[in-house]
Amino acid sequence: MKRQNCQKTIYIIRHAQTNANRKGKWIGARSVNKLNEYGKKQARFTAKYLSEQNVDASKIFSSPTERALGHAEIIQKRLNIPIEKIHSLTEMNLGILEDRTQSEGFVLAPNEYYNWKNNLRKFEPPLGESAVEASERFYEIVEFISINYTKNDIIIIAHGVVIKLFLARILKASIERGETEIKVPETTHGTITQVNFDGQAFKFIKVIPNKFPDSRRVATFG
């Protein structure tokens, strides 16, 4: 991959809340869920924040899931820039665990439920993808966008687990622990993770909290 000297500011937004999030379900790459009314408030807050910060982006890069695109469309209306859907920005494919509660997941795939709770590196749900695969896929597309996109500001709409895995990689945090125990800054629905890219490496800057915060239980899923 060709590299060049560049300074980019990347705003990685975790899509806002859905009703499936409120119900405590695993929602992954194939889950179909719209933003709920609270989630729309979260999305409008991110749009307002980006506008007030004069973020200079010419498009919004979004996961193609309904919930991510719903969030992207709210930002689009505020910033008046197009959306580009990129499949590699989607959430981890959770296979047979998609749209299940944790109790259902425990019955269907007890070993993977254990790995979710204790060692995400080993998490590989049946008919899905492993956490390691999702981490590589997401990191590579964010790096590709950062290197090749001409604007200095980049807006990305993505999902909770892949954002957490991305932060673990750039902050060198172990994922050999439960999903909720990985030592990275918390990114609840509607938060904005600001990262810089210098053409060689990413640097974490901060997480901008949402004016309409999640509960801790809701923040765990998708």
Cβ(145)–Cβ(154) under 8 Å? yes
CA–CA dist 79, 167 (Å, integer): 27
Query: Does residue 87 have a pLDDT over 50?
Result: yes
Cα separation, 43 vs 213, whole angstroms:
11
Task: Output the pLDDT for position 221.
Answer: 55
Residues 6+ apart with CB under 8 A from 114: none
Q: Which of 156, 163, 192 is nearest to 179 (CA)?
A: 163
Contact 140, 132 (CB under 8 A): no
Please tell me the pTM assigned to this model.
Answer: 0.95
Decide if pLDDT at 4 tops 60: no
Give the chain's domains with CATH numbers. Answer: 8-219 (3.40.50.1240)
Q: Which residues pair with 207 in a beta bridge?
A: 193
Strand pairing class (60-62; 83-85): parallel
pLDDT tens profile 62-74: 999 999 999 999 9
Task: Report which residue type is found at 140.
Answer: E
Query: Which residue spans within 1-103 are E strands per DSSP?
Result: 8-14, 60-62, 83-85
pLDDT for the residue numbered 171 = 98
Q: What are phi and psi of 14, to 5 degrees?
A: -80, 125
